[in-house]
Structure 1
Amino acid sequence: MNLDHLERRFTDISYFRPEEWHWDFDDGTTYDGQHPGVHEFPGPGEYYVCLTVSNEFAEHTWCDWVVIDSLPTSVREITTESDFRLYPNPGTGEFTIELDDPLSTSSNLTVIDMLGREVHREVVSSGMDEIQLSLSGLPSGRYAVVLRNGEVVLRGSLILLE
């Protein structure tokens, strides 16, 4: 089957006999059911798709990034590891994100816990090359940090200590 470049096929392969399924495609749409089949995303981008399954004993959420590319005429490297530094890591709540180049436009900074829940979001002004991130009040653990600036998406992770 040939899928359109905006489409991806999803299926559940859970192993602990779920009774309920909830899919969140990170594009404003959701699906309640085991197999949503083919989902069409609204356009190119990166989507953090989550599946939450549950039964009478437990609930579990699994999330992963889905990249929907436009049809490229060439391939170019958008980011490198040196574009994004986060310190101190591990840290106790106050972090600094340092960028090699100032942001060309305002950007969205998102922090996601390991259950796939967005726990922090802020808009960062253009021109910034250093961002102060305060996560005091959040529980200890590992978090994903995502900075979206137009086509450029920078990802990192941090460990928050008590």
Structure 2
Amino acid sequence: NALVSLQGGEDTQSYAQVDKVCFNGTVVTSIRDPHQQRQLRLYPNPNSGAFTLELSQAATPGMTFRIIGLTGQVVLEKIAEAGSARQTLEAGALPAGLYFVQAVEDGRIVGVERFVKQ
């Protein structure tokens, strides 16, 4: 293996040469199991704090929704209405900004959608 860096004026370019690649035949295409994910649709987006979440499947008992700020802190959590694929959330008390909604089922995050609160 070799690494060469060429400097010239404002540009620096690096080149690598690989002599040998080991491959076991396994190809990773995703780190999430697509069968455990739920499709979420959030509207309106942006919103003033009141919005609707549509799930690809009805919510199960114990499912919750978390609203996460950009720092990663949970700023709001709501228990889902079991048996319904359409959920309404109210986050009017939150300051304007970018947030994420996580759908959580059996302790696992099964869906994420982002939204802008005006």
TM-score range for the pair, normalised by the shorter chain length: 0.5 to 0.7
8 A contact 2:54–2:85 mirrored in 1: yes
Q: TM-score, normalised by structure 1?
A: 0.48
Figure out how many residues of one structure are paired with residues of the other and give that number: 87
Q: Which runs of 5+ in 2 are unaligned?
A: 1-30
Pair 1:158 & 2:107 matched: no
Distance in 1 (CA, whole Å) between partners of 2:52 and 2:43 is 5
Change (3 A) 1:126 1:115: same
Larger radius of gyration: 2
- In structure 2, the CA distance between the partners of 1:115 and 1:76, relative to structure 1 (3 Å rule), is closer
Q: Does residue 79 in structure 1 map to residue 37 in structure 2?
A: yes
Superposition CA RMSD, Å: 2.2
Structure 1 stretches of at least 4 aligned residues deviating more than 6 Å after TM superposition: none
Higher relative contact order (CA 8 A, sep 6+): 2
After the TM superposition, which of the residue ranges 100-109 and 89-98 deviates more from structure 2?
100-109
Q: Tell me which residue corresponds to 2:24.
A: none
Which residue does 2:99 correspond to in 1?
Answer: 143
What letter corresponds to residue 36 of structure 2 in structure 1? I
CA contact 2:66–2:101 (8 Å) conserved in 1: yes
Identity value in percent: 25
